[in-house]
């Protein structure tokens, strides 16, 4: 287990809930419609997996927990509670831990959120996606903007102080004006955190098929760039800080779980299709929920600290060179914090320049990075073309 | 073996008429290779050859055959390439033979290279054994094709041997005909040694392996040998025959075909066409040398990564060991830095060399558009030759530019005469004659500038004739033309490697096409990139590649860093294949764009 800069053994925990009531047209995540009958056994398997991992890794401190999906809000509060109890029992769950849960705006109410709040969930991330009716329909979302408004209200009533919304821009036939309206509507809801994702057309998604068939135009990347720039300006105006390429927050509301990824620190992934990083190796868990449940039935050991449900083919040992490269590639996504010089030196025993002299010089010359005394960050113009920077290090 | 029991022959055929398959059957029939070890096209041992189904290198193999007359014969088969670009290799192989099996496809009939190869064989006084192959095909018309052969060769149609190399049907008759009709070698076994080098390949342990046909005397491993043209002396490492693998015999006698492992490290000392003799009892006169072949097509080859320059030179040198027709010299380009100007026999040859460099030597290379050799008469009265548009002097000092013209023969069913005529005219070709081969097939003769021929002519001919037309060509002299240099400017900088020499009337059209093609091929950069085509100082076409605005991976799928990293690695790898021109990244395809300007 890697030690982070605070010198203590702290990890993050990602819990994947691969169930949805309907599938969104852009989605290629590991999620399934119509497997709700497995949920009870799935939760039991999750608890078993968490217990095994905690036992083997000698109860490290968990400082963030993230329920992602799929749709984690298909879980009932008692199911969430069971999972959190296993974490508390097998790990050292920090009192200040950030516990996030992704929720769908439909099918949730103040009672549900209140129950979650009571069992310790302290951050909600709502999949709002768009205030535009046509875009929501195109995405095959099962909710309206009114549902989003209601969900945010319910979350506040239930006592959630940290509410995040996900939005997607750059959809086919989405205009800049429609995007501006979505942002306005969103800001009216006074969220604490926003994740803005540029629509990617992925092989395997319904949208990819439609575009391939010619029944839907491909997204306009230049327009998506305009939307991104517009959002950056608009959100700064509204008091948000852009702490990562796709993430904005009010001061003090950054997502610590996200930051764990970007700092290239360990996170354990549990649940079907989850990805994890122990600090020494990266892995994923088998994708099929049924297979996942089967693998975790009546198992009592986690050989080598890996889940019995790990996908053996996915295991990738990360050597020092790769760890360093990934630290650059991920760290530069953090627009304010960037790659911290002191953390980098502590971790790798040398300055960034000692390892990447030529790359740093070239990128500096090209005006793509700022090299500061305590950190290295992307310049404003590099934000939209980050790959050009990241690829220098891989 | 006594000379009277030796037969040396080759197989000549138009491409795809089944030469290699027939060779395979002969090897099986003579037990040279067991059925179990048989792999398709055994003589084509380059990966590339097998993939393309084309013989590139000549190859030789010795077979022992028990003929019906009760005697055993040593039969040496010299395999020859089937593509028109390699007709020089065919000519060398022919010199080592006394007979040729002429294979014609029973459904396709006589094609352009059937004729070209046949004429070459007749020039060398070879005994011709006509064979109609693929009689197993439903579309086969062996009697008609035999009649065509009778008309052509004057041999009675009934003497033409019908076979199916695929099924093996009647293949034995071919061997019998070789034994009966091909004369034995007829050299002098007691005269001073003379052996003809008709091909070679390079072996990293044994040096240059010379493929030889012993004409007089004996080649023995005990003798110090001398190459008569270069004067190099060699103590052979090994002497043997191809059976079909290399089999040491230590000795080769008059009439034999085999190899000498020379241990020589460079082809310069062991030239194809040279004569091997012994130092002890040297022959007075070498055998008549082969015709020196001149490259017709030139292109710049550059390493994508400048650090690979030495590796590219080494690889070209290695290829040259196996390919005497390949010539190259260092060239410097403003756009592409250091590389080589390489001369090829034709476009197919160029493709093969390019692929071999990439596959066998693992080099990323970039080829500029092929050019021909121009003669430029200057105002000063001096004449210079150039093989690269970049070398063309300023218009103001040029009196006249002359370009090479070819004579071409197109064999085609008459249905395609119209479209072929149109194609040739578009390519500045001039009609000469048309002859009917039979009621439905014609031979069209044209004259056409070589520069037009090397740019997608063959592919288009094949496509407009649905694959039926075949082509052969010969050099036909230099002629003045109204030619100009078409320059391409990328981001205001002229790019020497993209310049073209074109006919003045085509300059506007080609400039436009080239610019719009480049606009599609050059990826968006961090800034807008103007692309212009110009003749002299006048810009005739322009377009803009818009600046790249967005290139960043959005979400990290639930922490899938591996996927993210791999995507970046892939992107980086793709970028590495781009060439920096000034500060613009240009993909390799851009340099070949000019080859496909006529596509719509």
Contact residues, chain A, for B569 at CB < 8 Å: 391, 394
Q: Is the Cβ pair A385, B549 closer than 8 Å? A: yes
> From chain A, which residues contact B within 8 Å (Cβ)?
14, 16, 29, 68, 197-198, 200, 221-222, 224-225, 228, 245-246, 261, 264, 267, 269, 273-277, 282, 284, 314, 316, 322, 325-326, 329-330, 366, 383-388, 390-392, 394
Q: Is the Cβ pair B552, A387 closer than 8 Å? A: yes
Q: Does residue B359 surpass a pLDDT of 60?
A: yes
Q: Is residue A269 part of a domain?
A: no
CATH number at residue A381: 1.10.10.920
Domain end marker among A220, A246, A262: A262
For B549-597, give the DSSP string: --------GGG-HHHHHHHHHHHHHHHHTSEEETTEEE-THHHHGGGGT
Which residues lie closer than 8 Å to A78 by C-beta, 6 or more apart?
A: none
Q: Does residue B55 surpass a pLDDT of 50?
A: no
B571 and chain A: CB distance < 8 Å anywhere? yes
Which class would CATH give B297-368?
Answer: alpha beta
CATH number at residue A31: 3.20.20.70
Q: Which residue reads 């790798």 in tokens?
A: A348
Q: Identify the pLDDT of residue A8.
A: 45
pLDDT tens digits, one per residue of B249-260:
999 999 999 999
CATH fit for domain B194-278, picks 1.10.3720.10, 2.60.120.10, 3.30.360.10, 2.40.30.10: 2.40.30.10
A/B interface, count of CB pairs below 8 Å: 92
Average pLDDT over residues B216-235: 91
Q: Cα–Cα–Cα angle for A124, A73, A283, nearest 5°?
A: 85
Claim to verify: residue A130 and residue A248 sit in the same structural domain: yes
Q: Identify the pLDDT of residue A4.
A: 41
Q: Does residue B116 surpass a pLDDT of 80?
A: no
Q: Identify the pLDDT of residue B208.
A: 86
pLDDT tens digits, one per residue of B364-403:
888 888 899 999 999 999 999 999 998 999 889 999 999 9
pLDDT tens digits, one per residue of A365-383:
999 999 999 999 999 989 9
Q: Identify the pLDDT of residue B46.
A: 52
Q: Does residue A2 surpass a pLDDT of 80?
A: no
- Please state, in angstroms and rounded to a whole number, the distance separating the CA atoms of residues B490 and A20: 51
Q: How far is A28 from chain B (nearest CA, A)?
A: 10
CB A18 within 8 A of CB A272: yes
Share of chain B above pLDDT 90, in %: 46
pLDDT confidence bin for B53, thresholds 50/70/90:
very low
Contact residues, chain A, for B574 at CB < 8 Å: none
Among A232-241, B23-32, B403-412, which stretch is predicted with the lowest mean pLDDT?
B23-32
Share of chain A above pLDDT 70, in %: 98
Q: Which residue reads 């017709």 in tokens?
A: B296
* Angle separating helix axes A77-90 and A39-56, nearest 10 degrees: 10
Question: Closest to B561 (Cβ–Cβ): which among A228, A246, A282?
Answer: A282
The single-letter DSSP state of residue B390 is G
- Please state, in angstroms and rounded to a whole number, the distance separating the CA atoms of residues B425 and A212: 40
Among A61-65, A161-165, A319-323, B145-149, which stretch is predicted with the lowest mean pLDDT?
B145-149
Q: Identify the pLDDT of residue B272.
A: 76
- Please state, in angstroms and rounded to a whole number, the distance separating the CA atoms of residues A367 and B580: 19
Identify which has the larger pLDDT, A96 or B153.
A96
Choose among A278, A262, A342, A350: nearest CA to A315. A278
Which class would CATH give B3-181?
Answer: alpha beta
Claim to verify: residue A254 and residue A380 sit in the same structural domain: no
CATH fit for domain B375-481, picks 3.40.50.10310, 3.90.870.10, 1.10.10.60, 3.30.70.240: 3.30.70.240
pLDDT tens digits, one per residue of A112-123:
999 999 999 999
Identify which has the larger pLDDT, B399 or B351.
B399
Pairing of strands B470-481, B430-436: unpaired
Q: Does residue B592 surpass a pLDDT of 90?
A: no
pLDDT tens digits, one per residue of B486-536:
999 999 999 988 899 999 998 999 999 999 999 999 999 989 999 999 998
For A344-376, give the DSSP string: HHHHHSS-HHHHHHHHHHHHHHTT-EEE-SSEE
Q: Is the Cβ pair B552, A29 closer than 8 Å? A: no
Question: Closest to A246 (Cβ–Cβ): which among B549, B554, B564?
Answer: B554
Q: Alpha-carbon torsion A185, A189, A190, A196, what sign?
A: negative
Q: Identify the pLDDT of residue B37.
A: 62
- Please state, in angstroms and rounded to a whole number, the distance separating the CA atoms of residues A165 and A188: 12
Claim to verify: residue A348 and residue A229 sit in the same structural domain: no
Among A5-9, B538-542, B576-580, which stretch is predicted with the lowest mean pLDDT?
A5-9
Contact residues, chain A, for B555 at CB < 8 Å: 197, 200, 246
pLDDT tens digits, one per residue of A215-240:
999 999 999 999 999 999 999 999 99
Q: Is the Cβ pair A329, B554 closer than 8 Å? A: no
Q: Does residue B325 surpass a pLDDT of 80?
A: no
Residue A70, preceding bond cis, omega within 30 degrees? yes
B600 and chain A: CB distance < 8 Å anywhere? no
Which residues lie closer than 8 Å to B193 by C-beta, 6 or more apart?
A: B214, B216, B217, B218, B219, B223, B225, B276, B277, B278, B281, B283
pLDDT tens digits, one per residue of A312-339:
999 999 999 999 999 999 999 999 999 9
pLDDT tens digits, one per residue of A246-255:
999 999 999 9
Q: Does residue B321 surpass a pLDDT of 80?
A: no
Number of domains comprising chain A = 2
CB B183 within 8 A of CB B5: no
Identify which has the larger pLDDT, B559 or A129.
A129
- Please state, in angstroms and rounded to a whole number, the distance separating the CA atoms of residues A269 and A267: 6
Residue in chain B nearest A199 by alpha carbon:
B554
Contact residues, chain A, for B551 at CB < 8 Å: 384-388
Q: Which two tokens stand for residue A335?
A: 């627009």
Q: Identify the pLDDT of residue A302.
A: 77
**Whole-complex ipTM:** 0.90
Q: How far is B540 from chain A (nearest CA, A)?
A: 29
Where are the domains positioned within chain B? 3-181, 194-278, 297-368, 375-481, 485-596
Q: Does residue B47 surpass a pLDDT of 60?
A: no
Q: Identify the pLDDT of residue B236.
A: 94
Q: Does residue B332 surpass a pLDDT of 70?
A: yes
Write out residues 25-44 of B within 8 Å (CB-CB) of A. none
Q: Decide whether B194-278 matches B485-596 in CATH topology.
A: no
Q: How far is B546 from chain A (nearest CA, A)?
A: 10
Residue A200's domain comprises 10-262
Which residues lie closer than 8 Å to B227 by C-beta, 6 or more apart?
A: B197, B233, B234, B269, B270, B271, B274, B275, B276
Domain end marker among A232, A262, A292: A262
Q: Identify the pLDDT of residue B54.
A: 45
Question: Closest to A385 (Cβ–Cβ): which among B526, B559, B569?
Answer: B526
- Please state, in angstroms and rounded to a whole number, the distance separating the CA atoms of residues B362 and B360: 6
Q: Which residue reads 């021909």 in tokens?
A: B372
Alpha helix (H) residue ranges in B431-482? 450-453, 457-464
* pLDDT averaged over every residue in chain A: 94
CATH fit for domain B485-596, picks 3.40.220.10, 3.30.70.2570, 3.40.50.1980, 3.40.30.10: 3.30.70.2570
Q: Does residue A108 surpass a pLDDT of 70?
A: yes
Which residues lie closer than 8 Å to A46 by C-beta, 6 or more apart?
A: A15, A83, A86, A270, A271
- Please state, in angstroms and rounded to a whole number, the distance separating the CA atoms of residues B23 and B139: 23
Q: Does residue A109 surpass a pLDDT of 70?
A: yes
Q: Is the Cβ pair A200, B554 closer than 8 Å? A: yes
- Please state, in angstroms and rounded to a whole number, the distance separating the CA atoms of residues A326 and A282: 12
Q: Identify the pLDDT of residue B45.
A: 57
Claim to verify: residue A43 and residue A133 sit in the same structural domain: yes
pLDDT tens digits, one per residue of B56-113:
444 788 999 999 999 999 999 987 765 666 666 677 778 889 999 999 999 988 887 7
Q: Identify the pLDDT of residue B367.
A: 87
- Please state, in angstroms and rounded to a whole number, the distance separating the CA atoms of residues B522 and A30: 36
Q: Does residue A183 surpass a pLDDT of 80?
A: yes
Domain end marker among A223, A246, A262: A262
Q: Identify the pLDDT of residue B557.
A: 58
pLDDT tens digits, one per residue of A262-310:
999 999 999 999 999 999 999 999 999 999 999 999 787 877 779 999 9
Long-range contacts of A174-177 (CB under 8 A, 24+ apart): A174/A130, A174/A132, A174/A135, A174/A223, A174/A227, A176/A223, A176/A226, A176/A227, A176/A230
Q: Does residue B271 surpass a pLDDT of 80?
A: no
Which residues lie closer than 8 Å to B183 by C-beta, 6 or more apart?
A: B98, B99, B127
Write out residues 540-569 of B within 8 Å (CB-CB) of A. 546, 548-562, 564-565, 568-569
pLDDT confidence bin for B587, thresholds 50/70/90:
confident
CB A387 within 8 A of CB B554: no
Q: Is the Cβ pair A246, B568 closer than 8 Å? A: no
Q: Is residue A291 part of a domain?
A: no
B570 and chain A: CB distance < 8 Å anywhere? no
Q: Identify the pLDDT of residue A238.
A: 97
CB A211 within 8 A of CB A218: yes
pLDDT tens digits, one per residue of B410-448:
988 899 999 999 999 999 999 999 998 777 889 999 999
Average pLDDT over residues A75-81: 97
């Amino acid at each position: 287990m890697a030690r982070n800069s605070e010198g203590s053994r702290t990890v993050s925990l990602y819990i994947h809930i691969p169930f949805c009531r309907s599938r969104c047209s852009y989605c290629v995540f590991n999620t399934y419609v119509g497997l709700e009958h497995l949920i009870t056994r799935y939760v039991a398997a999750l608890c078993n997996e968490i217990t095994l991992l905690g036992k083997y890794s000698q109860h490290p401190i968990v400082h963030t927990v993230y329920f992602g999906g799929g749709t984690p809000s298909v879980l009932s509060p008692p199911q969430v509670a069971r999972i959190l109890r296993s974490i508390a029992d097998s790990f050292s769950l920090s009192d200040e831990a950030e516990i996030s849960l992704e929720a769908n705006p439909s099918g949730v109410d103040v009672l549900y959120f209140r129950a979650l709040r009571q069992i310790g969930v302290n951050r909600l991330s709502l999949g709002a996606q768009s205030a535009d009716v046509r875009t929501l329909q195109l995405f095959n979302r099962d909710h309206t903007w009114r549902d989003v408004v209601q969900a945010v209200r319910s979350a506040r009533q239930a006592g959630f102080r940290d509410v995040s919304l996900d939005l997607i821009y750059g959809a086919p036939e989405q205009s800049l004006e429609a995007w501006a309206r979505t942002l306005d509507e969103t800001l009216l809801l006074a969220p604490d955190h926003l994740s803005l994702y540029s629509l990617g057309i992925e092989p395997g998604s319904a949208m990819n098929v439609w575009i391939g068939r010619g029944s839907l135009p491909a997204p306009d990347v230049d327009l998506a760039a305009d939307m991104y720039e517009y959002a950056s300006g608009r959100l700064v105006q509204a008091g948000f800080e852009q702490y990562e390429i796709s993430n904005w927050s009010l001061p003090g509301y950054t997502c610590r779980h996200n930051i764990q990824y970007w700092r290239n620190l360990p996170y354990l992934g549990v649940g079907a299709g989850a990805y994890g990083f122990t600090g020494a190796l990266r892995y994923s868990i088998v994708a099929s929920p049924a297979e996942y449940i089967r693998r975790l039935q009546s198992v009592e050991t986690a050989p080598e600290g890996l889940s019995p449900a790990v996908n053996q083919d996915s295991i990738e040992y990360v050597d020092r060179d790769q760890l360093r490269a990934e630290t650059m590639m991920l760290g530069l996504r953090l627009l304010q914090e960037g790659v911290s010089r002191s953390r980098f030196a502590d971790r790798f025993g040398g300055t960034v320049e000692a390892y990447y002299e030529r790359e740093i010089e070239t990128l500096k010359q090209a005006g793509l990075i700022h090299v500061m005394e305590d950190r290295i960050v992307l310049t404003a113009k590099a934000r939209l073309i980050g790959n050009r920077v990241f690829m220098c290090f891989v | 073996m006594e000379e009277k029991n030796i037969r040396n022959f080759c197989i000549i055929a138009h491409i795809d008429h089944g030469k290699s398959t027939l060779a395979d059957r002969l090897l099986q029939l003579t037990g040279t290779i067991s059925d179990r070890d048989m792999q398709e096209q055994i003589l084509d041992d380059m990966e590339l050859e097998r993939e393309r189904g084309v013989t590139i290198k000549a190859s030789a193999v010795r077979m022992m055959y028990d003929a019906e007359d009760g005697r055993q014969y040593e039969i040496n088969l010299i395999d020859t390439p089937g593509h028109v670009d390699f007709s020089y290799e065919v000519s060398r192989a022919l010199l080592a033979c006394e007979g040729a099996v002429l294979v014609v496809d029973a459904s396709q009939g006589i094609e352009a290279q059937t004729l070209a190869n046949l004429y070459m064989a007749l020039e060398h006084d070879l005994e011709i054994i006509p064979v109609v192959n693929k009689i197993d095909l439903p579309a086969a018309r062996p009697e008609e094709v035999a009649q065509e052969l009778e008309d052509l060769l004057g041999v009675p149609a009934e003497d033409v041997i019908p076979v199916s190399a695929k099924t093996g049907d009647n293949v034995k008759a071919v061997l019998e005909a070789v034994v009966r009709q091909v004369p034995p070698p007829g050299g002098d076994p007691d005269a001073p040694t003379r052996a003809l080098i008709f091909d070679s390949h390079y072996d990293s342990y044994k040096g240059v392996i010379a493929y030889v046909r012993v004409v007089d005397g004996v080649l023995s491993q005990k003798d110090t040998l001398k190459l008569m043209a270069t004067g190099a002396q060699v103590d052979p490492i090994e002497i043997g025959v191809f059976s079909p693998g290399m089999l040491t015999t230590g000795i080769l006698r008059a009439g034999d075909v085999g190899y000498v492992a020379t241990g020589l490290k460079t082809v310069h000392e062991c030239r194809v066409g040279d004569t091997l003799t012994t130092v002890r009892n040297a022959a007075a006169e070498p055998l008549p040398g082969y015709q020196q072949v001149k490259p017709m097509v030139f292109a710049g080859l550059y390493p994508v990564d400048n650090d690979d320059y030495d590796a590219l030179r080494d690889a070209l040198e290695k290829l040259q060991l196996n390919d005497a027709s390949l010539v190259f010299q260092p060239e410097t380009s403003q756009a592409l830095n250091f590389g080589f100007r390489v001369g090829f026999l034709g476009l197919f040859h160029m493709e093969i060399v390019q692929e071999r460099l990439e596959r066998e030597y693992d080099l990323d290379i970039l080829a500029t558009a092929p050019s021909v050799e121009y003669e430029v008469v200057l105002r000063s009265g001096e004449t210079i030759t150039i093989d690269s548009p970049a070398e063309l002097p300023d218009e103001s000092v040029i009196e006249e530019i002359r370009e090479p013209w070819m004579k071409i023969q197109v064999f085609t069913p008459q249905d395609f005469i119209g479209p072929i005529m149109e194609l040739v005219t578009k390519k500045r070709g001039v009609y000469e004659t048309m002859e009917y081969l039979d009621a439905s097939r014609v031979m069209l003769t044209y004259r056409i500038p070589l520069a037009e021929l090397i740019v997608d002519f063959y592919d288009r001919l094949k496509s407009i004739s649905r694959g039926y037309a075949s082509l052969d060509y010969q050099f036909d002299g230099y002629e003045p033309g109204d030619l100009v240099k078409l320059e391409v400017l990328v981001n205001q900088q002229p790019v020497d490697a993209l310049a073209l020499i074109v006919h003045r009337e085509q300059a506007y059209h080609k400039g436009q096409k080239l610019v719009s093609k480049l606009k599609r091929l050059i990826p968006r950069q961090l800034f807008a990139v103007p692309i212009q085509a110009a003749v002299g100082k006048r810009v005739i076409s322009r377009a803009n590649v818009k600046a790249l605005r967005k290139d960043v991976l959005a979400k990290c799928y639930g922490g899938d860093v591996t996927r993210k990293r791999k995507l970046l690695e892939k992107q980086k790898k793709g970028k590495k294949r781009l060439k920096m021109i000034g500060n613009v990244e240009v993909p390799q395809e851009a340099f070949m764009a000019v080859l496909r300007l006529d596509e719509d």
